[in-house]
Every structure is written in C-alpha cells, then in structure tokens.
Amino acid sequence: MQENTDIPMIEVEDLTKYYGEYPAIENISFTVNRGEILGFLGPNAAGKTTTMRILTGFMPPTSGTARIAGYDVVDQSLEVRRHIGYLPETVPLYTEMGVIDYLDFMGRIRGMGKEWRQRRISEVIDICRLGDYRTSLIGKLSKGFRQRVGIAQAILHEPEVLIMDEPTIGIDPIQVVETRNLIKGFGGEHTVILSTHILPEVSMVCQRVIIIHEGQVVAVDRPDNLSERLRGTERLEVDIRGPSADVMTALRDLPGVQDVTRADRDDVGVYRIETTGSEDLREAISNLVLQRGWGLLRLQPIQMSLEEIFLRLTEPDSDRE
C-alpha cells in the first residue's frame, strides 16, 4: 500500500498525562516529519519517558491525541506497534538466550515470516556489528553490546518509526560514540525520536530538538538555532599566573565584561568571566595578559549547562519565544 508522504509521521496534540493529581506532562504538541531525527531533551523527571510510553502504546494519555503514521495510539494501538521500533531505557532482554535465538523469538512474536525473519536477523546483526557475538548468551555481553541487541530488535521488523529512550545511558565512551553514529545513520530511512538529557548528544545526532521542562514543551528548534536564541550572556574560563588583585581589576575593566569570579588552583588563578555576548573577548583577554607580562595557561568558552538553558527558557520575564 502506498504511504501518504504528505502527513507527518508523528503528530502529537495537547497530550496530557496525570498520575493521580500530578501532571507528568501537560498539553504537549509537536510533529515529526518522515525521515527526521528529533531530539527530545530534558532533565530526569521532565516527562520524556511518559511521552515515549504513550507514543508506543505502553500507557494511555489522560487527554489529548497522538498519531503514528496516521494511526491513533489509543484506538489503533496494534497498527501503531507494527510501525514502530522501541528501545526503552531499560532494554527487556532475555539474558539466558543467545543473540540469534532472541532476535528470532522477537521476529516470531511480531508475526514475521521465516524468510523475512532470517533475512532481517542477518541484516541487523551486520548493522549493529554483532557478528562476533551472534551465538553468545546475552547475559554474557557487556552493557554496550546488550544495547546493540536492543537496537537490533527495535529495527528487526523494518519499522518506519524508531523511539529510543536514553539509548547511550550507562555505556562506555567508545560505545557511546558508536551508538550515536548508528542512530545518526537511521535518519532518512527511519523517523527517529531520541529521548535524552545529554545536550551534546542532541547536537551531534539530531536535526531538531524539543526541550521539555516540568512536563511542558519550552522550546522547539534546530540545535544551532537554539544556541543562537540563547546568546546574550556568555562565559569564558581563563587560567592566569599573575597578581590576583591586578588580574581581577584588569579583567573587570575590559569592555563587554559583566562580572569576574576567581578560584585558586595551586599558584594559578582560575577566572570565570561573564560577558555580554555581543562580541568575542578571547583576543582582548589574551592581549591584556601578554601586555601585562602575566602567564596565560588556558582560555576557553564554557558551555551553558542544560539546567541553565531551562532557567533561561522558563524565566517569567524572558522575551524569548
């Protein structure tokens, strides 16, 4: 059957979920286009997992609607599940099974025919680089390779939509990079929602980001556009060997500097500089240090933390949309 490519693959409108009197999410609305990788970004307990569980048919919303590939997640739940692959934060693996046996079992319960199942098992093992572990017991695998098995089962039935909840949590740095590259490769062929609380992950993998805070959407934009919108106050951190009082005074007198704070590290002063963000002060700071004959050991921008971004986006007097 020919799919309608004009409609978004995921449509969420005024989605709300209450646990008792507590609103886990409230009036969330967004769409995800076909082939797009969307980052669903927020701190722990922001409402990310609740949203993922509603989209995958794990639980119903209190109110609002969500549609996957045109199908309602409540009224047409079985049809929705045929179109999605789900990687929950804790992957439900049968650790006493071998990798191939587990994937074969998952294919059977999804109603995949024998030829399709065998073809896809071979393909997903190659995609997820599990070739050396195809006969290994899942319980003997590292956390990173268990995560790969989880991704393999999520894409086994060739779903149009992949929903991944914190896919890199708890795995080693090498596996994190490989998993991010794997997910990035799914874009175009699959529509992907990636839930995470790791800001760099969104920048590296996703084409668009939704920021959720206390159960509500506070921003929807491309990662680079979001950074631009948050410009206005920037921070630099600089290590200077020199007389502390003189260094503090000189840094504070530079045009564009709002504030300077200091911490000691052995005999080197570590200075955190708040700037207006209207211009790059790194060259002015380095020239100042050289002119005074002090030692410049380090100068780098300090990225705004996720919590600070939320504060900036949610402060009542903010003029940002």
Query: For residue range 108-142, what is the model confidence (pLDDT) as tens digits?
Result: 999 999 999 999 999 999 999 999 999 999 999 99
Q: What is the pLDDT of residues 13-28, one digit of tens each?
A: 999 999 999 999 999 9
Structure tokens at 81: 């599940």
Own/partner pairs, 50-55, CB within 8 angstroms, 24+ separation = 50/17, 50/24, 50/25, 51/12, 51/15, 51/25, 51/195, 51/212, 52/86, 52/88, 52/163, 52/165, 52/193, 52/195, 54/15, 54/17, 55/10, 55/12, 55/84, 55/163, 55/193
| pLDDT exceeds 50 at position 1 | no
What CATH number labels 10-229?
3.40.50.300
Number of neighbouring beta carbons within 10 Å of residue 291: 9
The predicted pLDDT at position 202 comes to 82
Tell me the pLDDT of the chain averaged across its residues. Answer: 87
| pLDDT exceeds 60 at position 259 | yes
pTM of the model: 0.73
Structure tokens at 166: 């914190």
321 — pLDDT class (breaks 50, 70, 90): very low
2 — pLDDT class (breaks 50, 70, 90): very low
Structure tokens at 251: 């840094």
Q: What is the pLDDT of residues 47-79, one digit of tens each?
A: 999 999 999 999 999 999 999 999 999 999 999
Find out if CATH 3.40.640.10 is the number for domain 232-304.
no
289 — pLDDT class (breaks 50, 70, 90): very high
What contacts 309, CB < 8 A, 6 or more positions away? 199, 211, 230
Residue ranges of the alpha helices (H) in the chain?
A: 48-55, 77-83, 99-109, 114-127, 143-155, 173-186, 199-205, 223-229, 244-252, 282-292, 306-314
The predicted pLDDT at position 189 comes to 84
- Strand order across the beta sheet in which 37-41 lies: 84-87, 161-165, 191-196, 37-41, 208-213, 216-221
Question: Within the chain, which residue ranges are assigned CATH 3.30.70.3190?
Answer: 232-304
